């Protein structure tokens, strides 16, 4: 591919919801290291076996062109970007990777024809060169929780805030298996600050864009933005999926991990953020007064975050306020802090977007960022 073609490919490509970026600022991936990594450690055979889904010479009657229609994209040193790389065999894949030593590899969809020969089909219109299969993929990034975590910020992550990723994985994995019937689900650490979920069932790979959007919409609850205090709004009886998520995952994660590890009620600034979610000024005023007063006089050995959360729950869920529906605020607060925050513009929405930075995903434990 010429440099002009490479640059044109960059303009038409979205990766992880943003423009391709060189990972050199995050990890030192010099040429010597990459040669050793790709020559000794990179799982060429496993990648080939996975992406073939049984379509190889070992299975009679299979589609032997399947792997050759899969797009790979390489980012080389100096931010040189190569799209539409394709390989007909494991040996071709391994040889190309070892020769080029890309600093980043992205895995794309399976097209109806070999991506490397796409120009020959250009005159055939939209049906001449089009994606026909791609895994259903979801992207979860710890950065999306910056407004509800206080242990870290930016790209930093620790065991305390990783509980947010744990909750997301449990909720989404259960929904994909129990509600949609998917079986072959792979969770991949992004190598940076989050996780990717790859749903590899055949029926998932063949979903169109509208069907992918419908699944993402089913999982999407968090609607927060910088102008709204109430990030989650739950009305009427909870959907069985949401009720299961709350009772089996979110409530425990919030009360047993986040509440104390993030010290959600330890300061006025933090508890005010929670009080803003309660649409009853008389309740918020009473709680605020009680907490400001106790800050000066309390000698209790109980954790202040546990005590204040208990007081808030008791007041909202008391019989006096039940008729007003304020008891639902407790669930909304938990959902706001602990429910998965999906990238709605990310990989799960598109059949043709490329994702999974394999260099990061597989060598992150060797070269820390």
pLDDT tens figures, 69-80? 999 999 998 889
Count Cα atoms within 13 angstroms, Cβ side, for 252.
10
pLDDT band at residue 227, thresholds of 50, 70 and 90?
very low
Q: Which of 291, 278, 289, 287 is nearest to 330 (CA)?
A: 278
- Phi and psi (nearest 5°) for 19? -70, 145
71 is catalytic: yes
Within a domain: residue 315?
yes
Instruction: Find the catalytic residue in 16, 114, 135, 141.
Output: 141
Between 205-209, 330-334, 362-366, the lowest mean confidence (pLDDT) is in: 362-366
Within a domain: residue 261?
yes
pLDDT value of position 192: 75
Count Cα atoms within 13 angstroms, Cβ side, for 9.
26
Within a domain: residue 58?
no
Within a domain: residue 273?
yes
Instruction: Find the catalytic residue in 71, 106, 135, 331.
Output: 71
- Using a pLDDT cut of 90, give the percent of the chain over it: 60
Number of domains in the chain: 1
Question: Is there a contact between 121 and 110 (Cβ–Cβ < 8 Å)?
Answer: no
pLDDT value of position 215: 94
Residue 202 in this model has a pLDDT that exceeds 60: yes
Question: Is there a contact between 128 and 122 (Cβ–Cβ < 8 Å)?
Answer: yes
Within a domain: residue 307?
yes
Distances (CA, A) of 69 to 42, 52, 85, 204: 22, 10, 9, 18
Within a domain: residue 265?
yes
Q: How far apart are the first and last CA of the chain?
A: 31
139 is catalytic: yes
Within a domain: residue 186?
no
Question: How far apart (Å, rounded) are the C-alpha atoms in residues 144 and 185?
Answer: 23
pLDDT value of position 300: 63
Q: Where are the alpha helices (DSSP H) in 265-357?
A: 268-275, 281-297, 304-317, 319-322, 328-338
Question: Is there a contact between 334 and 251 (Cβ–Cβ < 8 Å)?
Answer: yes
Instruction: Find the catalytic residue in 139, 144, 332, 343.
Output: 139
Question: How far apart (Å, rounded) are the C-alpha atoms in residues 249 and 173?
Answer: 12
147 is catalytic: no
Within a domain: residue 274?
yes
pLDDT value of position 249: 97
Tell me which residue range forms the domain holding 273: 240-294+302-338
Residue 171 in this model has a pLDDT that exceeds 90: yes
Question: Going by C-beta distance under 8 Å and a sequence separation of 6 or more, which residues neighbour residue 300?
Answer: 307
pLDDT band at residue 220, thresholds of 50, 70 and 90?
confident
Between 30-34, 66-70, 273-277, the lowest mean confidence (pLDDT) is in: 30-34
């Amino acid at each position: 591919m010429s440099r002009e073609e490479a640059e044109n490919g960059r303009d038409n490509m979205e990766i992880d919801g943003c423009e391709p970026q060189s990972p050199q600022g995050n990890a030192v991936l010099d040429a010597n290291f990459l040669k050793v990594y790709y020559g000794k450690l990179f799982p060429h055979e496993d990648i080939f076996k996975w992406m073939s889904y049984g379509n190889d010479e070992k299975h009679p009657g299979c589609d032997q062109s399947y792997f050759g229609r899969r797009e790979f994209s390489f980012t080389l040193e100096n931010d040189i970007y190569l799209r539409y790389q394709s390989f007909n065999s494991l040996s071709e894949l391994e040889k190309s990777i070892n020769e080029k030593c890309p600093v980043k590899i992205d895995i794309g969809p399976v097209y109806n024809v070999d991506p490397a020969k796409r120009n020959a089909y250009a005159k055939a219109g939209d049906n001449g060169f089009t994606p026909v299969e791609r895994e259903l993929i979801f992207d979860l990034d710890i950065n999306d929780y910056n407004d509800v975590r206080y242990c870290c910020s930016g790209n930093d992550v620790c065991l305390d805030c990783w509980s947010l990723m744990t909750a997301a994985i449990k909720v989404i994995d259960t929904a994909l298996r129990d509600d949609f019937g998917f079986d072959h689900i792979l969770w991949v650490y992004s190598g940076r600050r989050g996780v990717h979920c790859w749903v590899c069932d055949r029926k998932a790979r063949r979903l169109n864009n509208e069907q992918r959007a419908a699944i993402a919409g089913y999982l999407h609850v968090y609607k927060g933005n910088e102008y709204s205090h109430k990030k989650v709004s739950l009305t009427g009886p909870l959907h069985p999926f949401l009720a299961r998520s709350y009772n089996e995952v979110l409530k425990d994660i919030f009360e047993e991990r986040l509440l104390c590890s993030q010290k959600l009620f330890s300061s006025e600034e933090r508890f005010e953020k929670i009080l803003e979610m309660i649409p009853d000024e008389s309740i918020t005023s009473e709680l605020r007064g009680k907490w400001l007063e106790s800050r000066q006089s309390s000698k209790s050995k109980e954790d202040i975050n546990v005590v204040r959360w208990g007081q808030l729950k008791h007041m909202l869920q008391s019989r006096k306020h039940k008729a007003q529906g304020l008891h639902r605020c407790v669930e909304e607060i938990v959902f706001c802090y602990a429910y998965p925050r999906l990238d709605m513009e990310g990989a799960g929405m598109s059949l043709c977007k490329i994702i999974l930075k394999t260099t990061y995903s597989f060598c992150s434990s060797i070269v820390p960022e």
